[in-house]
A = this chain, B = another copy of it.
Amino acid sequence: MRSLRVGAAQLGPITRDASRGEVIDRLVTLMRRGSDAGAQLIVFPELALTTFFPRWYLDDVPEELDSYYETEMPGPQTQRLFDEAKSLGVGFYLGYAELTPEGKRYNSSVLVERDGSIVGRYRKVHLPGHEEHEPDRPFQHLERRYFEEGPDGFGVWAAFDGVMGMALCNDRRWPETYRVMALQRVEMVLIGYNTPLHYAPDPSQNPLQSFHNRLVMQAGAYQNGTWVVGVAKGGLEEGVESLAQSMIIAPSGQIIAEAVTTDDELLVADCDLDWCKHYKETLFDFDRYRRPEMYELITQPKSEQ
């Protein structure tokens, strides 16, 4: 049994005027609590260092927009998180806004091992929301304006004595996300998210946010025989209510831990990475049972569909 003790470190709201230092204080507090509880890996949310800024149209204040991105990881302010992790001997997953030296902007995450070294970086593949200012919305969801689509796809990394994968928020609703990683033998998928409860294009979906959140991550776990750790930034942030409900899901699809607050909260669970094989080597034995030649529409370019 390869048991990994994981801490899902949910965050409550981060205000628009919160400094990086204040936020990192909260992350360090959660990291220490996780370490005290014996966790080897702490999973933080998507865009965990700032408020969820895509809710504002910021063309008039480009300097504010730029302030939300990290140009280095670790950088001057986030170094403290890496130092703390190394000192405690715990790894972490962290979502953040990335601005590259070439000027490209991505919604990204990093996976950091227990020695403080970066194991892998992920750039969000499925960007939801819209490109243009839509003033009729109660708030914006401008991820498609402020980020480029991740160009690297879904990788996996040998780390934490297992095979780890990363995704971000909207990715979790797409079965391809989990499947591409599972075809690389992923054993644990880490997913940070920010999910406003109000969905402007179809408010009839609002009361189903909690149901859908569980549904897609549980299905992704079961259908791929993998652990899934979903971690929210939740609660009422700058007037926008977001789903919390962070959870740790077994390869059976069963939820083994789920947040009960909409604030900073730590869930800890022991995850047996060997549990994956109960599914990967039976019902979902891909080599035996998949029919890839029947799936061709899935990879056809969009113009041909």
Q: Chain B residue with minimal CB distance to A294? A: B153
Of A170, A218, A291, A301, which is in contact with the most chain B CB atoms at under 10 Å from its CB?
A: A291
**Shortest beta-carbon distance, A133 to chain B, in Å?**
17
B302 near A286 with CB under 8 A, answer yes
Closest to A179 in B: B298
Chain B residues contacting A253 (CB-CB under 8 Å) are 208, 211-212, 215
Whole-angstrom distance from the CB of A207 to the nearest CB of chain B?
A: 10
Within 8 A of B (CB), among A217-257: 218-219, 222-223, 252-254
Chain B neighbourhood of A173, CB < 8 A: 223, 283-284
Asked if A73 is at the interface (CB within 8 A of a chain B CB), the reply is no
A interface bracket (residues with beta carbon within 8 Å of B): 35 or more
A34 CB, min distance to chain B CBs, angstroms: 29
Residue of B nearest to A184 (CB): B297
Chain A 253-284 near chain B by CB (<8 Å), digits 1 or 0: 11000000000000000000000001100111
Shortest beta-carbon distance from A204 to chain B in Å: 7
Q: Which residues of A contact B (CB under 8 A)?
A: 125-128, 149, 153-154, 170, 173-176, 179-180, 183-184, 199, 201-202, 204-205, 208, 211-212, 215-216, 218-219, 222-223, 252-254, 278-279, 282-284, 286-287, 289-302, 305
A-B contact pairs, 5 of them (CB 8 A): A202-B279, A211-B254, A290-B302, A293-B301, A295-B299
